[in-house]
Amino acid sequence: MTTHTVRPDSILDALAIELPSWAFGNSGTRFKVFGTPGTPRTIQEKIADAATVHRLTGLAPAVALHIPWDTVDSYTELKSYAADLGVRLGTVNSNTFQDDEYKFGSLTHTDKTVRQRAIDHHLRCLEIMTEIGSQDLKVWLADGTNYPGQGDIRGRQDRLAESLAAIYQHVGEGQRLVLEYKFFEPAFYVTDVPDWGTSYAHTVALGDRAAVCLDTGHHAPGTNIEFIVAQLLRLGKLGSFDFNSRFYADDDLIVGAADPFQLFRILFEVIRGGGLAPDSDLALMLDQCHNVEAKIPGQIRSVLNVQEMTLRAALVDTAALTAAQETGDVLAANGIFMDAFYTDVRPQLASWREGRGLPADPMRAYAESGYQEKIEAERVGGTQTSWGA
């Protein structure tokens, strides 16, 4: 129970977490998508909700788009609209899994025409990024197969490499392609980018403007995620995070909800590897599904969880830790590590917020703001957005 010299205010000030536009729309499982009053019908309404999260927390200055879900006529106007609400447009997520022609793959499809369509979609995303000043093109592919023999594993990798290269040559200065990997789902036998090794190998082959996107829910059971974080930072290839949590598969629960200590360990390695340093271009993003809980406070809870764990991770007495590690004192080293995790940082964060004109308790502030009642009253009619629209 050492008292730490708290220097991590600079880390807190630098912390910024992108919100995904789709987290404000409806989501669910293959069994059922439950609708909720007040759910946005448009990307503008999604941005308004995201801006509310930022206004109350000071943590979420950017909103990620999903194309074509968030397609608009004028991206310049959308950018201004967001700016007026105090946020900017962030990562652009491509989508090549909801058109019939992608049933058997997109960038990996055996049919060159289909591959080109998928490539073109990514080029369009890059154009949008230029229009809105976005840094990252995030490529998550649903490509894969369900049955042994259905596809040629090797051939699919070769085509993937070729397609990615075709996209990459249009990645402009100040832009990046981040390639997300996923263990399974929607493909149930082979996922074409199943692990960090695959994403790493492809992004190394592409070049410096390509990096890996790590979604915390996209791993095999038991995978040590903080190791991957440490390794990718070491290799200079950790581009971005999709934060969420899970007990079983890609459950997309609120970040930190399932295993808070894992989130602590991950953020410790992020800091250890320089991921929150001034010169870092690591992007932090949420990617969650609020299937049964309220969406806007769900996002507030999420960014607060990341903030709380970041502060705990920053509190680790690294000098003492190193000393204990070097003497092989396992219990002392673990004790120093756990001491930071068990420190209740909530009072300190409430002060930090008040010092910046933010509400001490953003969850309560949202509940008392009347915003939820307002959108439930106003957003009547139309079609609530969800993953499919």
In the region spanning residues 170 to 199, those forming contacts with a copy of itself, defined by CB under 8 A, are 183-186, 188-191, 194-198
Q: Is 265 a binder of a copy of itself (CB under 8 A)?
A: yes
* Residue nearer to a copy of itself on the CB measure, 150 or 169: 150
Query: Site residues for a copy of itself, window 67-96 (CB under 8 A)?
Result: none
Residues 169 and 381: their CA atoms lie apart, in Å, by 44
Binding a copy of itself (rule: CB under 8 A), the pick from 334, 373, 383, 389 is 334
Q: Is 273 a binder of a copy of itself (CB under 8 A)?
A: yes
Q: Is 323 a binder of a copy of itself (CB under 8 A)?
A: no
Query: Site residues for a copy of itself, window 344-363 (CB under 8 A)?
Result: 344, 346-347, 350, 361, 363
Number of residues that bind a copy of itself (CB under 8 A): 108
Residues 213 and 240: their CA atoms lie apart, in Å, by 5
63: DSSP letter: E
Structure tokens at 123: 């080029």
The set of residues, in sequence order, having a beta carbon less than 8 Å from that of 187 and lying 6+ positions away, is 142, 143, 144, 145, 146
Query: Site residues for a copy of itself, window 196-255 (CB under 8 A)?
Result: 196-198, 200-201, 219-224, 226-228, 230-231, 233-235, 246-249, 251, 253-254
* Amino acid residing at 220: A
Binding a copy of itself (rule: CB under 8 A), the pick from 335, 365, 369, 379 is 335
Residues 254 and 19: their CA atoms lie apart, in Å, by 12
What's the CA angle centered on 11, arms 9 and 17, to 5 degrees?
125
Stretch that binds a copy of itself, among 6-14, 46-54, 258-266, 374-382 (CB under 8 A): 258-266
- Measured in whole angstroms, the distance separating CA 298 from the mean position of its chain's CA atoms is 15
Binding a copy of itself (rule: CB under 8 A), the pick from 75, 81, 241, 341 is 341
290: DSSP letter: -
Structure tokens at 255: 């970040």
Stretch that binds a copy of itself, among 42-50, 125-133, 267-275, 280-288 (CB under 8 A): 267-275
Q: Is 338 a binder of a copy of itself (CB under 8 A)?
A: yes
Bridge partners of 94, per DSSP, are: 67
